[in-house]
Chains A and B, each alone.
Chain A
Amino acid sequence: MTKQYETVIGLEVHVELATKTKIFCGCSTEFGGAPNTHTCPVCTGMPGSLPVLNKQVVEYALAVGLATNCGINQYCKFDRKNYFYPDNPQNYQISQLYLPICHDGWVEIETAAGPKRIGIHEIHMEEDAGKLIHDEWDDCSLVDYNRSGVPLIEIVSEPDMRSADEVIAYLEKLRLIIQYLGASDCKLQEGSMRADVNLSVREVGAAQLGTRTEMKNLNSFKAIARAIEGERKRQIELLEEGRRVIQETRRWDDNKESSHAMRSKEDAQDYRYFPDPDLTPVVISDEWLQAVRDRQPELRTEKLARYQQEYQLPLYDAEILTGSKHLADIFEATVALCGRPKEVSNWLMVEAMRLLKEKEQDPEDLTFSPENLAALIGMVEKNMINRTVAKTVFEEIFAHDVDPQAYVAEKGLGMVSDEGELRRTIETVIADNPQSVEDFRNGKEKAMGFLVGQTMRAMKGKADPAKVNQIVRELLTK
């Protein structure tokens, strides 16, 4: 390869909003549930049914638009996107084409070369489709409309990204913003955040963009990175062979690490958008917009600054804690209960993060209650358990959200405060290890450490190490 190529990437990100009900009917958006148990005439396209817009969808879309520096179309409308597919019960999707609710925003990401702005072309509201389950046994597909009509926003970026790293930084940035707003939990694996990648390549320095393809079915950051690399290579190879890139939609198969075109001759890609006559326009007054602005919660940048000032945390701690809204929420709730922000931060950053990594989980997956972490910290502070025991107890809190006091009592892990018992144990240890005693008396300070360790072992870790130290020294120097 002699030529130098540049990759140009834009993203279409779909985010399922955290409303209780669907966008156009009063059906629950709850996950799970047997097929078609969260459906009604509206979200299954029954003849004669009509949509009515869920106000909360507009509120969330506005909140995301404001947080991503977008302009707001204060007069916006819904359009029908017409195409036939069984997951789409009306055979049109209600979406926004002509007047989307938000436009021309940006977010800033960190790159190796410093901060970079990624433009947001528009954000529009639309309805999700149902789910198709492929039945191998019967060689057919089964349609479940539980997800049909779940509200989505689609965030369309400008083609401003140049690498997989930038794409992931942009997605993480969006995810944080939206999580902080409470507008969605943004879980890629569960599909509440989905990204389609528009990618083209061009020779470095070329003024015009190359022909782009759209990649779908990307369910994790890793899959996105692999798909970008795969598609970049595929396009460059085509160009190097003197062939053309065809504008098309491709489906990524992360197991095979390759993609294939989703073309079909029955797929005209002509969506015949027109304003939905069943819905009225949405008019967003200045007052409404201001009210949404006033209700915006503290976003990450503000929280980051506050953690350093209010809690006196180092930047490193603050960055990790605010890197997940859920983690930050646990941190704040715990501090509110037991104070000692640095101590709380340590538990979360060191122990919680270690366990998450072991289990290949995200901070969003943390399930323990701040009450139990606060109680644990209190117990360590009051010397009711030592740190080693505390770490074991924390693992139980992490996994099963146990009450640390009850757990310690049940397992008998509490510190032994009876000095008589401690003395008797140490005397036995000294009697059993004459060599070490002699070494100590010959000036080998290290030998004392051994004896302390043996004592702790005999006490099953339930002794206060300071106290053990003190008594061992006392008995050795008697």
Chain B
Amino acid sequence: MANVISDETIEYVGILAKLELTDAEKEEAKKDMGRMLDYIDMLNELDTSGVEPMSHVFAMNNVFREDVVTNGDEREKILKNAPEQKDGSFKVPKTVE
């Protein structure tokens, strides 16, 4: 395997992705990601110099809304699925700064 994924990398990606993996899952993830990256490295065979990265297939642009209020008070709906709520707000563990 050309791409060897370190423990640190898996730890770091876990922080970015907010995923907590068990040791067994970490080993599995290291292997999977290494294999996938080896496979993805196939793209390096392609000469893409001078090719613009294509985010959108079609050259659509300037899709706008007018600045007009269209929404009313939807609080009840918005909170309907909240795992926990209080005083019309979503309740979360204390955020410390």
Contact = CB atoms under 8 A, between A and B. Distances in A.
| A, B from the same assembly | yes
Interface of A: 19-21, 25-28, 34-41, 44, 46, 52-56, 58, 77, 82, 84-86, 132-135, 138-145, 251, 262, 265-266, 268, 270, 272, 275, 277, 279-283
B87 interface: yes
B83 to A, nearest CB: 12
A46 B90 CA distance: 13
Given A54-B65, A141-B91, 20 more contacts: A20-B69, A21-B67, A36-B78, A36-B79, A39-B71, A39-B75, A39-B78, A44-B78, A52-B64, A52-B65, A53-B63, A55-B67, A86-B95, A134-B95, A142-B86, A142-B87, A143-B89, A251-B97, A272-B16, A280-B62
A281 B61 contact: yes
A35 B74 CA distance: 11
A49 to B, nearest CB: 11
Contacts of A58: 64
Contact of A280 (B18, B63, B66, B68): B63
Given A53-B65, A268-B15, A140 B92 contact: yes
Interface of B: 12, 15-16, 18, 55-56, 60-71, 73-75, 78-79, 86-95, 97
A24 to B, nearest CB: 8
Contact of B67 (A20, A41, A85, A145): A20
Contact of B65 (A55, A135, A141): A55
B71 A138 contact: no
Contacts, number: 128
Contacts of B90: 36, 86, 142-143, 145
B94 A21 contact: no
A141 B93 contact: yes
Contacts of B18: 84
A350 to B, nearest CB: 40
A262 B97 CA distance: 6
Nearest to B74: A40
A28 B15 CA distance: 35
A27 B71 contact: yes
A56 B67 contact: yes
A281 B55 CA distance: 10
Nearest to A23: B65
Nearest to B60: A280
Instruction: State the 7 A-B residue pairs at the shortest beta-carbon distance, nearest first.
Output: A26-B70, A142-B89, A55-B64, A56-B67, A143-B90, A35-B88, A283-B61
7 contacts: A35-B87, A41-B78, A46-B78, A132-B95, A134-B94, A282-B61, A283-B62
Contacts of A20: 67-69
Contacts of B67: 19-21, 54-56
Contacts of A275: 55
Nearest to A216: B97
A349 B65 CA distance: 43
Given A21-B69, A39-B75, A86-B95, A138 B55 contact: no
A196 B57 CA distance: 38
Residue with the highest number of chain A CB atoms closer than 10 Å, among B18, B79, B86: B86
A143 B93 CA distance: 10
A37 to B, nearest CB: 5
A290 to B, nearest CB: 16
Contacts of A135: 86, 91
A266 B78 contact: no
B88 to A, nearest CB: 4
Residue with the highest number of chain B CB atoms closer than 10 Å, among A37, A77, A283: A37
A280 B91 CA distance: 34
A433 to B, nearest CB: 70
Residue with the highest number of chain A CB atoms closer than 10 Å, among B67, B73, B78: B67
A155 B35 CA distance: 43
Contact of B78 (A19, A40, A141, A142): A40
A25 B74 CA distance: 13
B89 A133 contact: yes
